[in-house]
Amino acid sequence: MDQDKRYEEALKWIHGLGRFGIKPGLERMNALLEMLGNPHQQISFVHVGGTNGKGSTAAMLASVLKTAGYNIGLYTSPYLLSFTNRMAVNGTDIDHGELAELVEEVRPLVDRVLSNPELGQPTEFEVVTVLALTYFARQKVDLVVLEVGLGGRLDATNVVNPLLSIITNISLEHTEVLGDTIGKIAGEKAGIIKAGKPLLTASADQEVLKLFEDRCYQLGSPFYRIYKPFEAADDKPEKRPTAIPLDITSEGQYFSYRGFKWHFDKLFIPLRGQYQVENACTALAAVEILNGQGFAVSEEAVRKGLASTIWPGRLELLQKEPPVIMDGAHNPAAIEKLAEAFPLYFNYKKLILVFGMLADKDMESMLKTILPLADRVIFTRPLLPRAAEPDLVAAFATEKLGFEKEYYVIRHYGEALDKALEMADPGDAILVTGSLYTVSDIRAYWIENYR
């Protein structure tokens, strides 16, 4: 069987595991990893959790460390264009052949776990995480920046004992799994805090901070937080890292960083949105903490690493005429950040919104926030079983929320983009959002048909 065929067979098997859904717990992970010689115990980690911003923070952190000369693994989800995006070393995705070989090695081990009635069927995310941890160990990376999948305490990634845990922020999401209050969700995410290992957070919620502080005290773990420049000053913020927004350009933005010890002026990130300055601050605070653990990083590496960060699908300008902007905002907090940032970073006469979301998200809150920006809306859906049907989303917008502007229901995401481009007059802009899966599907369609 040739390499391409083996890769396709590997993906088919992996995705076939998706029908087993989400099953919180670490027993299956521990069993699989033990059969493989516990590869995760051979490497160092930074574990990144939180509701929003964890992917961008992880990408910037990995880019800075890579630029400093370290061999860095990055594990994120979901992927944007190719499944192999999920596990990369120094910015290069895993090779198709290497992934196929790993699957062929791990597949019989999954069958062995399945044969144990006390363990049962491993899920897709568990198996992918096992593949990634094994790959990174065999690549002999110096450190892996590991993004949490869902929650924290019982997430498949929580088998690692990291040098540092990061929890970016907390808002209501996945309430059916994590709990229906901020406190319950924060408690689940705090499960990635490890005894004696530091926690860094960007949260400003007093309830969340108290919970984190108490957990760190119980575990003897150092507790760090950043100071948000967009909020009123509180207790001695000068003692915590802050990022001060400066200039916005068409390519990104500049900011100054005031850290625990570092003071850097006019740093550049090729990412748009005020919240990305906060994410950059979090990444740099993490680098400072790692700096004290033996990871030497120069100012030059900080500047070059931030400036070379690649993290598509977040306020990404895909084309300039007409402007097509893609953002993977997928929950109320992320949509709110998007709605705040969009008018600051893009000029337009009218906005055509292409919107597709997942059925398990807070439809009412997301639509209430994003619809006021739009002059015309195309409701669509990503190619995913969990996607919300666009006719139902449109009905909710019009019947429940009183949306009265021009709209269309176009189920196929590619045809939705075609319609948006056809409708756009000079000076209009197109925004694709609602889910990273929607962005991924439409971005791939655009590359195939319009680039």
Share of the chain above pLDDT 90, in %: 83
Largest CA distance in the chain: 63
Q: What's the predicted TM-score (pTM) here?
A: 0.92
Of 283, 307, 331, at which residue does a domain stop?
307
pLDDT, residue 173, reads: 65
CATH, residue 198: 3.40.1190.10
The residue with tokens 């994590």 is 178
Of 273, 307, 341, at which residue does a domain stop?
307
Q: Tens of pLDDT along 398-435?
A: 999 999 999 999 999 999 999 999 999 999 999 999 99
Q: Tens of pLDDT along 166-214?
A: 999 987 665 555 656 888 899 999 999 999 999 999 999 999 999 999 9
> How high does pLDDT run on average in the chain?
93
Residues 295 and 336 both lie in one domain = no
Report d(CA 266, CA 330) in Å as an integer.
Answer: 31
Residues 176 and 52 both lie in one domain = yes
Residues 361 and 410 both lie in one domain = yes
DSSP 328: -
Residues 271 and 358 both lie in one domain = no
Q: Provide mean pLDDT across the span 155-175.
A: 88
Q: Provide mean pLDDT across the span 294-319.
A: 96
Tell me: pLDDT of 384 over 60. Answer: yes
Residues 131 and 59 both lie in one domain = yes
Residues 300 and 355 both lie in one domain = no
CATH, residue 429: 3.90.190.20
Residues 292 and 410 both lie in one domain = no
Residues 152 and 279 both lie in one domain = yes
Query: Please, what is the Cα angle at 53 between 48 and 56, to 5 degrees?
Result: 80
Q: How many domains does the chain have?
A: 2
Q: Provide mean pLDDT across the span 109-129.
A: 94
pLDDT, residue 20, reads: 61
Of 307, 326, 344, at which residue does a domain stop?
307
- Orientation angle between helical segments 27-35 and 96-114, nearest 10 degrees: 120
Domain that holds residue 370: 316-449
Residues 292 and 344 both lie in one domain = no
